[in-house]
Amino acid sequence: MIEKRLDNSRRKLMCAIVGGASAGLLFRISRTEAAEKMTPQQAEYQGTPNGIYSCGMCTLFEAPNSCKVVEGEISRDGWCKAFAMAD
């Protein structure tokens, strides 16, 4: 009977450890995803093209008006230092 209680307690402990680690990992991932984007100031974003280069030509641009690495609304005609020419 004591062995059965110990076995049950050990199982509960292991479930709590695995559950806590999973929750911590998910929380960390969601915080990291939110922190990945730069502010427009950090990216030196400007609402006008840089010569012939504009956000509409960038691989990071997501139509109609967002970016994978810069927060907020992004103009297709804008430009920033994260510019990467699309293939």
For the whole model, what pTM was predicted?
A: 0.58
Convert the pLDDT of each residue in 28-81 to its tens digit: 554 545 568 999 999 999 999 999 999 999 999 999 999 999 999 999 999 999
For the chain, percent helix, then strand, then coil, each to nearest 5? 45, 15, 45
The 8-class DSSP code of residue 62 comes to E
Convert the pLDDT of each residue in 25-38 to its tens digit: 455 554 545 568 99
Q: What is the mean pLDDT of residues 5-26?
A: 58
d(CA 57, CA 77) in angstroms, rounded, equals 9
d(CA 61, CA 54) in angstroms, rounded, equals 10
